[in-house]
């Protein structure tokens, strides 16, 4: 008795048929998805996209007392990038970037590496205490530090007096740069620490065990294993710090009231735009300064991401 094996022709195989209800179900889900994101999209358009579009339209016009408002195109941008006050403000925030960003990242990384080695309740409490300054609004934090820096009301004179020394004026023109660096580092280092710490907790602990078996010390594990493995998180933290520093505004604007003469109204580009708009009613040119700063921030961020594309995972 012979047995025949019948092989079906692939061309004659019946393909699975998707029910008509599947397409309707997908369309229904898409409609519900748009329904749920509609409130956010509306707020986003009204309170972000709309004001940005209006501000850009204003930056393309020039208002005069005689001729009213006239379209001038990119003339305001040519004026902005040759404005010595704007360029001086950019140079000043560039100095803050060169000093403040490395300090913030170093403090945040050191704190995260130390806390990553702790497995006690002290670690949780320490994370909370380091992160707490970020939870304080920037204006309140600047006011608090303004009081601490005050030569009349602050505790600095008493502390230095214990050692028979005279407290320096932290709000003077010579020390205001260092004072601002201290305030911003105090407020933002905890935020960056949480990001780095979360990235560290995502590393497989077995890698550390293998390194210890090979004789690696704690410092070698930290610098040669942990830091390279969180390079993408480090790039993100640096980008956040870079963008925030280039848009420096709150802290110098608040300290300006308690540090007369040390912080002029054009200390940073954002402060310059604010002064132009609300002190001199030059809303068109103020909008131009704001967008010119945005262009600079975009260029710096793009260059940094391009240089670190391998570490950030974009390559």
Question: Is residue 252 situated within a structural domain?
Answer: yes
Q: Which domain holds residue 154?
A: 81-312
Q: Please tell me the total number of residues recorded for the chain in this structure.
A: 315
What value does the CA radius of gyration of the chain take, rounded to a whole number of Å?
A: 28
Determine contact, residues 118/110, Cβ cutoff 8 Å. Answer: no
Determine contact, residues 240/192, Cβ cutoff 8 Å. Answer: yes
Rounded CA separation 118/258 (Å): 41
CA angle 97, 234, 227 (to 5 degrees): 125
Rounded CA separation 189/187 (Å): 6
Question: Is residue 51 situated within a structural domain?
Answer: no
pLDDT at res. 67: 61
Rounded CA separation 86/269 (Å): 6
Question: Is residue 75 situated within a structural domain?
Answer: no
pLDDT at res. 108: 95
Question: Is residue 130 situated within a structural domain?
Answer: yes
Question: Is residue 45 situated within a structural domain?
Answer: no
Q: String of b and e for 110-145 (b: at least 16 CB within 10 Å)?
A: ebbbebbeeeeeeeeebbeebbebbeeebeebbeeb
Q: 74 vs 34, 62, 67, 68, CA distance in Å? A: 37, 10, 19, 18
Rounded CA separation 96/242 (Å): 10
Q: Single out the residue of 58, 190, 194, 208 nearest to residue 133, CA to CA.
A: 190
Question: Is residue 7 situated within a structural domain?
Answer: no
pLDDT at res. 19: 54
pLDDT at res. 161: 81
pLDDT at res. 177: 95
Question: Is residue 283 situated within a structural domain?
Answer: yes
Question: Is residue 46 situated within a structural domain?
Answer: no
Number of domains in the chain: 1
The secondary structure of 181-248 as a DSSP string is HHHHHHHHHHHHHHHHHHHHHTS-HHHHHHHHHTT--HHHHIIIIIHHHTHHHHHHHHHHHHHHHHT-
In the chain (315 residues long), the average pLDDT of successive 10-residue segments reads 48 51 74 88 93 94 78 92 95 95 95 86 85 92 91 83 85 93 94 94 90 90 91 92 92 90 93 94 94 94 86 60
pLDDT at res. 54: 95
Rounded CA separation 65/284 (Å): 13
Helical packing angle, 283-307 and 231-246, nearest 10°: 160
Question: Residue 299 is part of a domain; what is its CATH number?
Answer: 1.10.3720.10
pLDDT at res. 162: 84
């Amino acid at each position: 008795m012979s047995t025949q094996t019948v092989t079906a022709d692939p061309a004659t195989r019946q393909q699975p048929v998707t029910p008509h209800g599947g397409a309707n179900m997908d369309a229904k889900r898409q409609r519900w998805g748009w329904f749920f994101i509609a409130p956010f999209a509306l707020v986003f358009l009204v309170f972000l996209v709309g004001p940005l579009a209006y501000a850009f339209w204003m930056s393309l016009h020039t208002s005069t007392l005689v001729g009213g408002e006239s379209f001038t195109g990119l003339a305001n941008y040519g004026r902005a990038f040759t404005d010595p006050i704007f360029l001086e403000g950019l140079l000043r925030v560039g100095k803050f970037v060169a000093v403040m960003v490395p300090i913030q990242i170093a403090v945040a990384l050191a704190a995260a590496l130390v806390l990553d080695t702790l497995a006690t309740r002290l670690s949780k409490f320490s994370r909370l205490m380091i992160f707490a300054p970020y939870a304080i609004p920037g204006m309140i934090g600047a006011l608090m530090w303004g009081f601490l820096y005050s030569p009349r009301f602050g505790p600095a004179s008493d502390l230095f007096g214990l050692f028979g020394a005279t407290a320096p004026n932290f709000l003077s023109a010579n020390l205001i740069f260092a004072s601002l660096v201290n305030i911003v580092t105090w407020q933002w280092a905890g935020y960056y620490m949480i990001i780095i710490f979360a990235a560290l907790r995502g590393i497989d602990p077995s890698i550390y065990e293998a390194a210890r078996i090979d004789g690696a010390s704690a410092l070698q594990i930290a610098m040669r294993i942990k830091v390279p493995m969180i390079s993408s998180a480090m790039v993100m933290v640096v980008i956040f710090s870079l963008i925030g520093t280039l848009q420096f505004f709150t802290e110098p604007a608040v300290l300006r009231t308690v540090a007369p003469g040390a912080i002029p109204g054009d200390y940073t580009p954002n402060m310059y735009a604010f002064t132009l708009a609300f002190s001199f009613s030059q809303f068109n040119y103020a909008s131009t300064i704001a967008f010119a700063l945005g262009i600079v921030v975009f260029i710096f961020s793009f260059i940094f991401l391009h240089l670190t594309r391998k570490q950030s995972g974009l390559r």
